[in-house]
A and B are shown apart, each in its own frame.
Chain A
Amino acid sequence: MTAGTVDERVADTGRLRRMLIRPELGAVVGAIVVFAFFASQSATFRSVDGVANWLDPASTLGIMAVAVALLMIGGEFNLSAGVLTGTTGLILVTLATRFGWNVWAAMLAGLAVALLVGFLNGLIVVRTRLPSFIVTLGTFLMLQGINLGVTKALTGTVQVSGLRRADGFESARAVLADSVTIGGTGFRVAILWWIAVTVLATWVLMRTRAGNWIFAVGGDDRAARAVGVPAERTKILLFMTTAGAAWLVGSILALRFTSVQANAGLGQEFIYIIAAVIGGCLLTGGYGSAVGAAIGAVIFGMADKGIVFAGWDADWFKFFLGAMLLLATLANRLVRRYAEEVRH
């Protein structure tokens, strides 16, 4: 054995495998296929206006999908993330319109509640060792009940509105819910937040100690603890990260529409998970990528708007979604098997 032969083998098999082993590969291929498909069906879809249009749903979904992907890589689920976007939006609008709070202060209150919910989710999961699927299903239902019950008790209806008249609305809207015009086309500011969240999440995941710990607690919790990884803290912080993302998205949507329905965010939790899985996350944890989840959200946005641009019935969206999920999961599995087959 000489150093020369070793290096040759690295060059031969390593580079190709390393490219294929990237978890987001399936999502990238999927995004290209979906774009090509809808671009061929509709000229609007491939125009700059069209791109701005489908990046909008992709952005709010993407912020959540990236946070949920981190949590899934850490080996846990959060089913309460969707409803929590509603809860934080309701807190913001209720405090600002019914109690005269400044919008920024109301947002801070929403953040505090969100982080507390995230902390409790995490604490219950790591202390009881119950599956997070069950624990967060419980908090999901409880939040859903609170959202409806409190909104009805305060307003007598199932929505709170009138945020536009609150103090600090304009400045908050400028930061979170405005549009910026690039070349005559308005792009939502949320797109920038989504990119920032994706970059930050990727940096944490790939370049920090915390990132190493996230992969480890999701890959094998017990082995991670055995080498001194603070597994409980890592998981609780991941739950708080998804809650923080839910607050960001809840605030963006509340500022954009100036009102929030009591059932806002309901049913979104699975869409976040689907985007993360399309982006290469394993349901069993320990594997995945933030960029992949962001691309999963792009696929989503393209399908959501593309079906409308192509002049089809929007009912087909769900069918498309299901097919995409199955295909992506299968493709990811094949790629991973190829990349990881045991070599002796």
Chain B
Amino acid sequence: MSARPPLIETRGVGKAFGGVIALRDVSLTVEAGRVTCVLGDNGAGKSTLIKILSGVHPPDEGEYLVDGEPVRFAGPREALDRGIATVFQDLAMIPLMSVWRNFFLGSEPTRGSGPLRRFDRAAARRIAREELRAMGIDIRDVDQPVGTLSGGERQSVAIARAVHFGARALILDEPTSALGVKQAGVVLRYVARARDRGLGVVFITHNPHHAYPVGDRFLLLNRGRSLGEHAKAEITKEELTTLMAGGAELEELAHELARDDDNGSTL
């Protein structure tokens, strides 16, 4: 958009595990205040790409740049220190613990010193409530256990937590895949909210209907390779869907299903 380098950029990254090439020659850019969607079917290499971005695996080839500088992360903590936070599908939240305890788990605010150093519970409750409200998340009571929240609410709390702890880029691993239509809508709203707060978002999904309304750029993966990166203006939802399923395969499937339907009518 401007002379400023993108928040995150990969140039031709690839990764192999043993003899299996999981990802090859993938380039993507993520800019502040924009949502880049990564679309692909199972086994397309989405998880490998997330793990490279979040610092779990370094890429075998290609370059990974943050703010225009090449980086090589030794672990997720280093990525987090550069403001790249990942919300994995399992969320790293403890169901039996309250929302505010989860919100600050591992980074608890304290007051006092020496043996009297203690968890500042009043501040934790207040900040958790404020941050959730700032994201427009309607949690009735931050004292309720996370286990009582719906799937969409949990995703939202995890996103709010990442934002609070200074994330500039947010990597969301299939945040809508296990959710119903309504819940997925809730999460998409928070993705948009994070974007509006100036974060760069990487939204990984296999559902073009979730990706299209919220995305600014779309990277399509198939069998570990990039099928190209498109700006929203360059592609329609129908084209995206067709590309994702592999156009020819979808037509074949439609044909197959139609024939099955004819046979089925005699049953």
Contacts and interface: CB of A to CB of B under 8 A. Distances in A.
Interface of A: 1, 6, 9-10, 13-14, 17-18, 21, 203, 207-209, 211-213, 215-216, 219-220, 223-224, 226-229, 282, 286-287, 340-344
B118 A207 contact: yes
A14 B140 contact: yes
A331 B114 CA distance: 40
Contacts of B106: 216, 224, 227-229
B126 to A, nearest CB: 14
B104 A212 contact: yes
A215 B90 contact: no
Contacts of A229: 105-106
Interface string B145-166: 1011110000000000000000
Contacts of B94: 215-216, 219-220, 223-224, 286
A14 B96 contact: no
Contact of B77 (A211, A228, A343, A344): A228
Contacts of A216: 94, 97, 105-106
Contacts of A343: 148
B119 A207 contact: yes
B148 A340 contact: yes
Given A14-B141, A14-B143, A208-B117, A223 B150 contact: no
A139 B121 CA distance: 38
A341 B101 CA distance: 19
Contacts of A282: 96
A9 B148 CA distance: 15
Interface of B: 77, 88, 90-97, 101, 104-108, 110, 117-119, 121, 138, 140-141, 143-145, 147-150
9 contacts: A14-B143, A207-B121, A212-B104, A213-B105, A219-B95, A223-B93, A226-B88, A226-B92, A227-B105
A27 B105 CA distance: 28
Main secondary structure of the interface of B (DSSP, over half): loop
A286 B96 contact: yes
Contact of B138 (A6, A14, A223): A6
A342 B118 contact: no
Contacts of B147: 340, 342
Contact of A342 (B101, B105, B150): B150
Contacts of A9: 140-141
Contacts of B118: 203, 207-208
A225 to B, nearest CB: 9
Contacts, number: 84
Contacts of B90: 223
Nearest to B161: A227
B97 A286 contact: yes
B91 A342 contact: no
Given A224-B105, A224-B106, A18 B143 contact: yes
B119 A209 contact: yes
A14 B105 contact: no
Contact of A209 (B88, B93, B110): B110
Contacts of A1: 138
A212 B119 CA distance: 8
In the complex, which of the residues A9, A212, A282 has the most CB atoms of chain B within 10 Å of its own CB atom? A212
Contacts of B148: 340-343
Contacts of A211: 119
Nearest to A209: B108
Nearest to B91: A223
A215 B101 contact: yes
Contacts of A344: 150
A219 B144 contact: no
3 nearest A-B residue pairs (beta carbon): A219-B94, A227-B106, A228-B106
Contacts of B101: 212, 215
B108 A212 contact: yes
B144 A14 contact: yes
Contacts of A287: 96
Contacts of A14: 140-141, 143-144
A340 B147 CA distance: 7
Nearest to B104: A212
In the complex, which of the residues B90, B95, B138, B144 has the most CB atoms of chain A within 10 Å of its own CB atom? B144
A215 B149 CA distance: 18
A203 B116 CA distance: 10
A14 B140 CA distance: 8
A18 B99 CA distance: 13
Contacts of B92: 223-224, 226-227
B15 to A, nearest CB: 21
A208 B91 contact: no
Contacts of B145: 21, 340
Contacts of A340: 145, 147-148
